A and B are shown apart, each in its own frame.
Chain A
Protein backbone atom coordinates (compact mmCIF):
# COMPACT_ATOMS: atom_id res chain seq x y z
CA UNK A 1 0.00 0.00 0.00
CA UNK A 2 1.26 3.45 -0.88
CA UNK A 3 1.70 5.73 2.10
CA UNK A 4 2.54 9.37 2.61
CA UNK A 5 4.30 10.81 5.63
CA UNK A 6 3.46 13.81 7.71
CA UNK A 7 6.39 15.13 9.75
CA UNK A 8 6.49 17.30 12.80
CA UNK A 9 9.62 18.52 14.54
CA UNK A 10 9.74 20.37 17.85
CA UNK A 11 12.82 21.22 19.88
CA UNK A 12 13.67 22.64 23.28
CA UNK A 13 16.96 24.41 23.90
CA UNK A 14 18.76 23.90 27.19
CA UNK A 15 18.28 26.77 29.60
CA UNK A 16 20.79 29.59 29.06
CA UNK A 17 21.98 28.17 25.74
CA UNK A 18 21.44 29.74 22.36
CA UNK A 19 21.75 26.71 20.14
CA UNK A 20 20.10 23.33 20.32
CA UNK A 21 22.49 20.41 20.67
CA UNK A 22 20.09 18.09 18.84
CA UNK A 23 19.69 18.15 15.08
CA UNK A 24 17.11 16.74 12.73
CA UNK A 25 17.36 16.24 9.00
CA UNK A 26 14.57 15.11 6.72
CA UNK A 27 15.62 14.12 3.22
CA UNK A 28 13.30 13.19 0.44
CA UNK A 29 14.60 10.87 -2.25
CA UNK A 30 12.71 9.66 -5.26
CA UNK A 31 10.75 6.88 -3.57
CA UNK A 32 11.64 7.22 0.09
CA UNK A 33 12.11 9.58 2.99
CA UNK A 34 15.12 9.59 5.26
CA UNK A 35 14.89 11.06 8.73
CA UNK A 36 17.98 11.49 10.87
CA UNK A 37 17.91 12.68 14.46
CA UNK A 38 21.10 13.20 16.39
CA UNK A 39 22.04 14.33 19.88
CA UNK A 40 25.54 15.71 20.19
CA UNK A 41 27.60 15.28 23.35
CA UNK A 42 27.27 18.17 25.79
CA UNK A 43 25.26 21.25 24.95
CA UNK A 44 25.51 24.52 23.10
CA UNK A 45 27.77 25.13 20.14
CA UNK A 46 29.85 21.99 20.58
CA UNK A 47 26.83 19.69 20.71
CA UNK A 48 25.24 21.54 17.83
CA UNK A 49 28.30 21.05 15.62
CA UNK A 50 28.54 17.35 16.49
CA UNK A 51 24.89 16.63 15.86
CA UNK A 52 24.74 18.76 12.70
CA UNK A 53 27.75 16.92 11.27
CA UNK A 54 26.18 13.60 12.18
CA UNK A 55 22.82 14.25 10.53
CA UNK A 56 24.37 15.81 7.45
CA UNK A 57 26.91 13.01 6.98
CA UNK A 58 24.42 10.23 7.61
CA UNK A 59 21.70 11.87 5.57
CA UNK A 60 23.88 12.54 2.56
CA UNK A 61 25.49 9.09 2.61
CA UNK A 62 22.17 7.28 2.89
CA UNK A 63 20.66 9.42 0.18
CA UNK A 64 23.49 8.47 -2.13
CA UNK A 65 22.84 4.80 -1.42
CA UNK A 66 25.39 4.13 1.30
CA UNK A 67 24.61 1.59 4.02
CA UNK A 68 24.58 1.98 7.77
CA UNK A 69 27.93 0.25 8.35
CA UNK A 70 29.68 2.77 6.13
CA UNK A 71 27.88 5.65 7.84
CA UNK A 72 28.99 4.57 11.30
CA UNK A 73 32.53 3.96 10.11
CA UNK A 74 32.67 7.42 8.52
CA UNK A 75 31.27 9.10 11.60
CA UNK A 76 33.75 7.33 13.88
CA UNK A 77 36.63 8.63 11.81
CA UNK A 78 35.48 12.12 10.99
CA UNK A 79 33.68 13.63 13.99
CA UNK A 80 35.84 16.23 15.71
CA UNK A 81 37.25 15.03 19.04
CA UNK A 82 36.21 16.91 22.18
CA UNK A 83 39.24 18.47 23.90
CA UNK A 84 37.86 18.02 27.42
CA UNK A 85 36.69 14.43 27.22
CA UNK A 86 38.92 13.30 24.39
CA UNK A 87 35.89 11.73 22.73
CA UNK A 88 33.99 12.13 19.52
CA UNK A 89 30.46 11.20 20.28
CA UNK A 90 26.94 11.75 19.14
CA UNK A 91 23.90 9.53 19.23
CA UNK A 92 21.54 9.05 16.34
CA UNK A 93 18.31 7.52 15.13
CA UNK A 94 17.76 7.01 11.43
CA UNK A 95 14.51 6.17 9.74
CA UNK A 96 14.42 5.13 6.10
CA UNK A 97 10.80 4.90 5.02
CA UNK A 98 9.83 3.95 1.50
CA UNK A 99 6.65 5.13 -0.17
CA UNK A 100 5.33 1.55 -0.25
CA UNK A 101 5.43 1.48 3.57
CA UNK A 102 8.58 -0.59 4.16
CA UNK A 103 10.60 1.04 6.91
CA UNK A 104 14.06 0.45 8.27
CA UNK A 105 14.98 2.09 11.54
CA UNK A 106 18.33 2.12 13.22
CA UNK A 107 19.32 3.71 16.48
CA UNK A 108 22.53 4.20 18.35
CA UNK A 109 22.39 5.23 22.01
CA UNK A 110 19.21 7.26 21.50
CA UNK A 111 16.06 6.40 23.45
CA UNK A 112 14.15 3.51 21.89
CA UNK A 113 11.92 4.77 19.11
CA UNK A 114 8.18 4.82 19.78
CA UNK A 115 6.24 2.93 17.13
CA UNK A 116 2.47 2.98 17.26
CA UNK A 117 -0.70 2.15 15.43
CA UNK A 118 -3.73 4.28 16.30
CA UNK A 119 -3.84 4.58 20.08
CA UNK A 120 -1.53 1.64 20.77
CA UNK A 121 2.22 1.34 21.05
CA UNK A 122 3.58 -1.62 19.09
CA UNK A 123 6.93 -3.29 19.61
CA UNK A 124 8.56 -3.98 16.26
CA UNK A 125 11.02 -6.82 15.83
CA UNK A 126 14.40 -5.65 17.07
CA UNK A 127 17.81 -6.80 15.90
CA UNK A 128 20.86 -5.74 17.89
CA UNK A 129 24.31 -5.93 16.42
CA UNK A 130 27.71 -4.42 16.79
CA UNK A 131 29.38 -2.28 14.17
CA UNK A 132 32.97 -1.51 15.16
CA UNK A 133 32.71 -0.50 18.80
CA UNK A 134 29.10 0.57 18.60
CA UNK A 135 26.00 -1.39 19.58
CA UNK A 136 23.11 -0.54 17.34
CA UNK A 137 19.47 -1.60 17.26
CA UNK A 138 17.72 -2.15 13.99
CA UNK A 139 14.02 -2.51 13.28
CA UNK A 140 12.28 -3.62 10.12
CA UNK A 141 8.60 -2.89 9.79
CA UNK A 142 5.84 -2.21 7.34
CA UNK A 143 3.99 1.05 7.90
CA UNK A 144 0.32 1.43 7.08
CA UNK A 145 -2.41 4.01 7.35
CA UNK A 146 -2.60 5.41 10.93
CA UNK A 147 0.85 4.13 11.91
CA UNK A 148 3.22 6.54 13.56
CA UNK A 149 6.78 6.88 14.79
CA UNK A 150 7.99 9.22 17.47
CA UNK A 151 11.72 9.76 17.79
CA UNK A 152 12.89 11.61 20.89
CA UNK A 153 16.23 12.62 22.31
CA UNK A 154 17.09 11.73 25.92
CA UNK A 155 16.16 15.25 26.99
CA UNK A 156 12.51 14.26 26.64
CA UNK A 157 12.79 11.16 28.82
CA UNK A 158 14.71 13.09 31.48
CA UNK A 159 12.23 15.95 31.59
CA UNK A 160 11.64 16.85 35.23
CA UNK A 161 14.94 15.65 36.65
CA UNK A 162 16.52 18.19 38.96
CA UNK A 163 13.23 19.92 39.53
CA UNK A 164 10.97 19.96 42.58
CA UNK A 165 9.60 16.56 41.68
CA UNK A 166 12.96 15.05 41.00
CA UNK A 167 12.07 12.31 38.60
CA UNK A 168 12.28 11.94 34.85
CA UNK A 169 9.36 11.43 32.55
CA UNK A 170 10.67 8.00 31.52
CA UNK A 171 10.10 5.91 28.40
CA UNK A 172 7.00 4.09 29.66
CA UNK A 173 5.22 7.20 30.71
CA UNK A 174 6.05 9.01 27.48
CA UNK A 175 4.71 5.96 25.62
CA UNK A 176 1.50 6.08 27.65
CA UNK A 177 1.17 9.80 27.01
CA UNK A 178 1.60 9.27 23.27
CA UNK A 179 -1.04 6.52 23.28
CA UNK A 180 -3.44 8.86 25.03
CA UNK A 181 -2.81 11.92 22.90
CA UNK A 182 -2.74 10.31 19.46
CA UNK A 183 -5.49 11.57 17.20
CA UNK A 184 -5.83 11.03 13.45
CA UNK A 185 -7.05 14.63 13.16
CA UNK A 186 -3.96 16.10 14.78
CA UNK A 187 -1.16 17.04 12.42
CA UNK A 188 2.31 15.69 13.16
CA UNK A 189 3.70 19.14 13.87
CA UNK A 190 0.87 19.92 16.26
CA UNK A 191 1.45 16.68 18.14
CA UNK A 192 5.21 17.24 18.32
CA UNK A 193 4.65 20.79 19.54
CA UNK A 194 2.25 19.67 22.29
CA UNK A 195 4.64 16.98 23.51
CA UNK A 196 7.51 19.46 23.54
CA UNK A 197 5.43 21.93 25.48
CA UNK A 198 4.67 19.32 28.11
CA UNK A 199 8.42 18.64 28.41
CA UNK A 200 8.99 22.35 28.89
CA UNK A 201 6.47 22.41 31.72
CA UNK A 202 7.99 19.31 33.34
CA UNK A 203 11.36 21.03 33.28
CA UNK A 204 9.77 23.95 35.14
CA UNK A 205 10.33 26.17 32.10
CA UNK A 206 14.09 25.78 32.51
CA UNK A 207 15.10 22.81 30.35
CA UNK A 208 18.06 20.95 31.83
CA UNK A 209 18.92 19.40 28.46
CA UNK A 210 18.18 19.86 24.80
CA UNK A 211 15.05 17.96 23.89
CA UNK A 212 13.76 16.97 20.47
CA UNK A 213 10.49 15.39 19.44
CA UNK A 214 10.11 14.15 15.87
CA UNK A 215 6.73 12.79 14.87
CA UNK A 216 6.20 10.85 11.67
CA UNK A 217 2.63 9.90 10.82
CA UNK A 218 1.79 7.61 7.94
CA UNK A 219 -1.44 7.82 6.02
CA UNK A 220 -2.97 6.93 2.71
CA UNK A 221 -2.12 9.49 0.04
CA UNK A 222 -4.84 12.09 -0.37
CA UNK A 223 -5.50 13.31 -3.87
CA UNK A 224 -7.04 16.58 -4.95
CA UNK A 225 -8.06 17.47 -8.50
CA UNK A 226 -8.70 21.14 -8.94
CA UNK A 227 -9.97 23.23 -11.83
CA UNK A 228 -9.06 26.92 -11.65
CA UNK A 229 -10.42 29.44 -14.12
CA UNK A 230 -12.08 28.96 -17.48
CA UNK A 231 -9.98 27.75 -20.43
CA UNK A 232 -8.81 30.29 -22.97
CA UNK A 233 -10.87 28.73 -25.74
CA UNK A 234 -14.47 27.70 -25.30
CA UNK A 235 -13.95 24.44 -27.22
CA UNK A 236 -11.84 23.14 -24.35
CA UNK A 237 -14.71 23.37 -21.84
CA UNK A 238 -15.75 19.73 -22.28
CA UNK A 239 -12.20 18.47 -22.11
CA UNK A 240 -11.28 20.26 -18.88
CA UNK A 241 -14.50 19.21 -17.15
CA UNK A 242 -13.99 15.61 -18.26
CA UNK A 243 -10.42 15.72 -17.00
CA UNK A 244 -11.62 17.05 -13.67
CA UNK A 245 -14.29 14.39 -13.34
CA UNK A 246 -11.83 11.64 -14.29
CA UNK A 247 -9.37 12.91 -11.68
CA UNK A 248 -8.97 11.10 -8.39
CA UNK A 249 -9.84 12.21 -4.87
CA UNK A 250 -11.44 15.44 -3.76
CA UNK A 251 -12.69 17.62 -6.60
CA UNK A 252 -12.44 21.38 -6.33
CA UNK A 253 -13.61 24.06 -8.74
CA UNK A 254 -12.36 27.62 -8.30
CA UNK A 255 -14.13 30.48 -10.02
CA UNK A 256 -17.68 31.65 -10.62
CA UNK A 257 -17.69 31.25 -14.38
CA UNK A 258 -15.66 28.05 -14.07
CA UNK A 259 -18.35 26.67 -11.77
CA UNK A 260 -20.99 27.62 -14.32
CA UNK A 261 -19.04 25.84 -17.08
CA UNK A 262 -18.78 22.67 -15.01
CA UNK A 263 -22.49 22.92 -14.17
CA UNK A 264 -23.39 23.35 -17.83
CA UNK A 265 -21.26 20.43 -19.03
CA UNK A 266 -22.58 18.16 -16.29
CA UNK A 267 -26.13 19.43 -16.79
CA UNK A 268 -26.45 20.42 -13.14
CA UNK A 269 -27.42 23.63 -11.45
CA UNK A 270 -24.88 25.58 -9.36
CA UNK A 271 -26.42 27.04 -6.24
CA UNK A 272 -24.96 29.66 -3.95
CA UNK A 273 -24.45 28.83 -0.29
CA UNK A 274 -24.94 32.18 1.37
CA UNK A 275 -24.14 30.79 4.83
CA UNK A 276 -20.47 30.63 3.78
CA UNK A 277 -20.33 34.36 3.13
CA UNK A 278 -18.01 36.30 5.39
CA UNK A 279 -16.78 39.89 5.43
CA UNK A 280 -14.44 39.77 2.49
CA UNK A 281 -14.67 36.37 0.84
CA UNK A 282 -17.52 35.69 -1.60
CA UNK A 283 -19.79 32.74 -0.83
CA UNK A 284 -19.15 29.22 -2.12
CA UNK A 285 -21.32 27.33 -4.57
CA UNK A 286 -22.96 23.94 -4.33
CA UNK A 287 -22.70 21.58 -7.27
CA UNK A 288 -23.56 17.89 -6.93
CA UNK A 289 -20.53 15.71 -7.66
CA UNK A 290 -18.00 18.42 -6.82
CA UNK A 291 -16.68 18.58 -3.27
CA UNK A 292 -15.98 22.28 -3.21
CA UNK A 293 -16.98 25.10 -5.56
CA UNK A 294 -15.51 28.46 -4.62
CA UNK A 295 -15.25 31.88 -6.14
CA UNK A 296 -11.96 32.50 -7.98
CA UNK A 297 -9.67 35.50 -7.65
CA UNK A 298 -10.49 36.70 -4.12
CA UNK A 299 -10.74 33.23 -2.59
CA UNK A 300 -7.37 32.22 -4.06
CA UNK A 301 -5.62 35.27 -2.60
CA UNK A 302 -6.94 34.52 0.89
CA UNK A 303 -6.33 30.76 0.63
CA UNK A 304 -2.73 31.43 -0.42
CA UNK A 305 -2.33 33.74 2.55
CA UNK A 306 -3.60 31.08 4.97
CA UNK A 307 -1.26 28.46 3.54
CA UNK A 308 1.74 30.78 3.41
CA UNK A 309 1.42 32.03 6.95
CA UNK A 310 0.78 28.57 8.37
CA UNK A 311 -2.76 29.01 9.69
CA UNK A 312 -3.54 25.91 11.73
CA UNK A 313 -5.64 23.22 10.10
CA UNK A 314 -7.89 22.90 13.13
CA UNK A 315 -8.58 26.63 12.96
CA UNK A 316 -9.30 26.52 9.22
CA UNK A 317 -11.72 23.66 9.74
CA UNK A 318 -13.83 25.66 12.14
CA UNK A 319 -14.42 28.35 9.51
CA UNK A 320 -17.04 28.20 6.81
CA UNK A 321 -15.74 30.56 4.13
CA UNK A 322 -14.45 29.36 0.76
CA UNK A 323 -10.82 30.37 1.28
CA UNK A 324 -10.49 28.48 4.57
CA UNK A 325 -12.14 25.39 3.09
CA UNK A 326 -9.88 25.56 0.05
CA UNK A 327 -6.75 26.06 2.17
CA UNK A 328 -7.73 23.16 4.46
CA UNK A 329 -8.31 20.83 1.49
CA UNK A 330 -4.95 21.75 -0.03
CA UNK A 331 -3.02 21.48 3.25
CA UNK A 332 -4.46 18.02 3.84
CA UNK A 333 -3.66 16.82 0.34
CA UNK A 334 -0.50 14.98 -0.75
CA UNK A 335 -0.97 14.83 -4.50
CA UNK A 336 -2.57 17.84 -6.15
CA UNK A 337 -3.45 18.01 -9.82
CA UNK A 338 -4.26 21.48 -11.08
CA UNK A 339 -6.09 22.16 -14.31
CA UNK A 340 -5.51 25.86 -14.90
CA UNK A 341 -7.61 27.85 -17.34
CA UNK A 342 -5.78 30.93 -18.50
CA UNK A 343 -8.69 33.10 -19.64
CA UNK A 344 -8.64 36.42 -17.85
CA UNK A 345 -11.50 38.63 -16.85
CA UNK A 346 -10.81 42.13 -18.23
CA UNK A 347 -13.45 43.69 -16.01
CA UNK A 348 -11.23 42.91 -13.02
CA UNK A 349 -8.78 45.49 -14.35
CA UNK A 350 -11.28 48.09 -13.28
CA UNK A 351 -10.07 50.86 -10.99
CA UNK A 352 -12.67 49.98 -8.36
CA UNK A 353 -11.17 46.54 -7.80
CA UNK A 354 -8.05 46.07 -5.65
CA UNK A 355 -5.06 45.35 -7.89
CA UNK A 356 -4.12 42.06 -6.21
CA UNK A 357 -7.26 40.35 -7.57
CA UNK A 358 -6.36 41.13 -11.16
CA UNK A 359 -3.22 39.02 -11.04
CA UNK A 360 -4.91 35.65 -10.74
CA UNK A 361 -2.26 33.83 -12.76
CA UNK A 362 0.46 35.20 -10.47
CA UNK A 363 -1.49 34.10 -7.43
CA UNK A 364 -1.88 30.61 -8.91
CA UNK A 365 1.85 30.44 -9.67
CA UNK A 366 2.63 31.51 -6.12
CA UNK A 367 0.19 28.93 -4.77
CA UNK A 368 1.79 26.14 -6.80
CA UNK A 369 5.23 27.21 -5.57
CA UNK A 370 4.11 27.36 -1.93
CA UNK A 371 2.48 23.93 -2.14
CA UNK A 372 5.57 22.42 -3.74
CA UNK A 373 7.76 23.99 -1.06
CA UNK A 374 5.69 22.31 1.62
CA UNK A 375 6.53 18.92 0.12
CA UNK A 376 3.38 18.24 -1.89
CA UNK A 377 3.41 16.57 -5.24
CA UNK A 378 1.84 19.19 -7.51
CA UNK A 379 1.16 18.68 -11.22
CA UNK A 380 -0.23 21.35 -13.52
CA UNK A 381 -1.96 21.53 -16.88
CA UNK A 382 -2.72 24.75 -18.72
CA UNK A 383 -5.59 25.44 -21.07
Chain B
Protein backbone atom coordinates (compact mmCIF):
# COMPACT_ATOMS: atom_id res chain seq x y z
CA UNK B 1 0.00 0.00 0.00
CA UNK B 2 1.33 3.37 -0.98
CA UNK B 3 1.06 5.31 2.25
CA UNK B 4 1.40 8.68 0.52
CA UNK B 5 -1.73 8.02 -1.45
CA UNK B 6 -3.90 6.21 1.01
CA UNK B 7 -6.80 8.60 1.39
CA UNK B 8 -9.59 9.37 -1.05
CA UNK B 9 -8.65 13.02 -1.09
CA UNK B 10 -5.06 12.09 -1.97
CA UNK B 11 -3.63 14.14 0.84
CA UNK B 12 -1.60 11.33 2.37
CA UNK B 13 -1.56 9.89 5.84
CA UNK B 14 -3.06 12.04 8.51
CA UNK B 15 -3.03 15.11 6.36
CA UNK B 16 -6.69 15.47 5.77
CA UNK B 17 -6.96 19.21 5.88
CA UNK B 18 -10.40 19.58 7.39
CA UNK B 19 -10.31 21.53 10.57
CA UNK B 20 -11.28 19.45 13.54
CA UNK B 21 -12.76 21.46 16.30
CA UNK B 22 -10.32 21.34 19.12
CA UNK B 23 -11.48 22.53 22.47
CA UNK B 24 -8.99 25.15 23.66
CA UNK B 25 -9.37 24.68 27.38
CA UNK B 26 -8.79 20.95 27.16
CA UNK B 27 -5.32 19.44 27.40
CA UNK B 28 -5.85 16.43 25.11
CA UNK B 29 -8.37 16.37 22.29
CA UNK B 30 -9.12 12.77 21.33
CA UNK B 31 -10.53 12.09 17.86
CA UNK B 32 -11.75 8.69 16.80
CA UNK B 33 -12.32 8.00 13.11
CA UNK B 34 -15.64 6.50 11.97
CA UNK B 35 -14.91 6.61 8.24
CA UNK B 36 -15.68 3.62 6.01
CA UNK B 37 -12.40 1.76 6.39
CA UNK B 38 -11.96 2.37 10.11
CA UNK B 39 -15.61 1.51 10.70
CA UNK B 40 -15.32 -1.78 8.83
CA UNK B 41 -12.21 -2.60 10.82
CA UNK B 42 -14.08 -2.11 14.06
CA UNK B 43 -13.63 1.48 15.21
CA UNK B 44 -17.00 1.26 17.01
CA UNK B 45 -15.45 -1.24 19.45
CA UNK B 46 -12.51 1.11 19.97
CA UNK B 47 -14.95 3.91 20.68
CA UNK B 48 -16.51 1.73 23.38
CA UNK B 49 -13.12 1.09 25.01
CA UNK B 50 -12.28 4.80 24.96
CA UNK B 51 -15.64 5.63 26.51
CA UNK B 52 -14.93 3.10 29.27
CA UNK B 53 -11.38 4.38 29.68
CA UNK B 54 -12.28 8.06 29.95
CA UNK B 55 -15.80 7.69 31.33
CA UNK B 56 -17.26 10.24 28.89
CA UNK B 57 -19.52 10.20 25.85
CA UNK B 58 -18.53 11.69 22.45
CA UNK B 59 -18.76 15.49 22.57
CA UNK B 60 -18.08 15.60 26.30
CA UNK B 61 -15.05 16.63 28.35
CA UNK B 62 -13.70 14.94 31.47
CA UNK B 63 -14.30 16.87 34.70
CA UNK B 64 -10.58 17.63 35.14
CA UNK B 65 -10.46 19.12 31.60
CA UNK B 66 -7.81 16.61 30.60
CA UNK B 67 -9.60 14.82 27.77
CA UNK B 68 -12.31 15.71 25.24
CA UNK B 69 -13.72 13.00 22.98
CA UNK B 70 -14.89 13.77 19.42
CA UNK B 71 -15.98 11.63 16.49
CA UNK B 72 -14.72 12.41 13.00
CA UNK B 73 -15.68 10.98 9.65
CA UNK B 74 -12.25 10.51 8.10
CA UNK B 75 -8.81 11.31 9.41
CA UNK B 76 -7.24 10.60 6.05
CA UNK B 77 -5.27 7.61 7.26
CA UNK B 78 -7.41 4.84 5.88
CA UNK B 79 -4.47 2.53 5.11
CA UNK B 80 -3.51 2.18 8.76
CA UNK B 81 -7.02 2.17 10.23
CA UNK B 82 -8.61 2.03 12.63
CA UNK B 83 -7.00 5.23 13.77
CA UNK B 84 -7.38 7.68 16.62
CA UNK B 85 -5.70 11.02 17.12
CA UNK B 86 -4.71 12.66 20.38
CA UNK B 87 -3.97 16.32 19.73
CA UNK B 88 -1.76 16.02 16.65
CA UNK B 89 -0.45 12.52 17.26
CA UNK B 90 -1.98 9.83 15.11
CA UNK B 91 -2.27 6.29 16.46
CA UNK B 92 -2.52 3.65 13.71
CA UNK B 93 -3.99 0.14 13.88
CA UNK B 94 -5.63 0.70 17.24
CA UNK B 95 -7.36 -2.26 18.85
CA UNK B 96 -9.78 -2.21 21.79
CA UNK B 97 -7.04 -3.76 23.96
CA UNK B 98 -4.35 -1.22 23.04
CA UNK B 99 -6.49 1.75 24.06
CA UNK B 100 -5.63 1.55 27.75
CA UNK B 101 -1.91 1.41 26.96
CA UNK B 102 -2.08 4.48 24.72
CA UNK B 103 -3.84 6.51 27.40
CA UNK B 104 -1.31 5.46 30.06
CA UNK B 105 1.18 7.89 28.53
CA UNK B 106 -1.26 10.79 28.95
CA UNK B 107 -2.53 10.18 32.43
Residues of A within 8 A of B (CB): 229-230, 234, 255-261, 263-264, 269-272, 274, 277, 282-283, 285, 295-298, 343-348, 350, 352-354, 357
Contact = CB atoms under 8 A, between A and B. Distances in A.
Interface string B1-40: 1100111111000001111010000000000001111011
Contacts of A344: 8
A298 B37 CA distance: 10
B6 A347 contact: yes
A5 B19 CA distance: 44
A347 B78 contact: yes
The binding surface of chain B is classed by DSSP as: loop
Contacts of B5: 346
A202 B9 CA distance: 61
B90 interface: no
Nearest to B78: A347
Contact of A297 (B7, B36, B44, B71): B36
A343 B76 CA distance: 14
B43 to A, nearest CB: 9
A346 B8 CA distance: 8
Interface in B37-70: 37, 39-41, 44, 58
A171 to B, nearest CB: 56
Interface residues of B, number: 30
Contact of B71 (A258, A272, A296, A357): A272
A274 B40 contact: no
Contact of B36 (A261, A264, A296): A296
A297 to B, nearest CB: 5
Nearest to B59: A271
B72 A230 contact: no
Contacts of A263: 18
Contacts of B44: 277
Contact of A260 (B21, B73, B79, B81): B73
B74 interface: yes
A282 B19 contact: no
8 contacts: A230-B8, A256-B36, A257-B73, A257-B74, A295-B35, A345-B78, A347-B78, A347-B79
A257 B17 CA distance: 10
A257 B72 CA distance: 10
Contact of B81 (A230, A264, A285, A347): A347
Contacts of B76: 257
Given A230-B8, A264-B18, A344-B8, A272 B36 contact: no
A257 B8 contact: yes
B39 A298 contact: yes
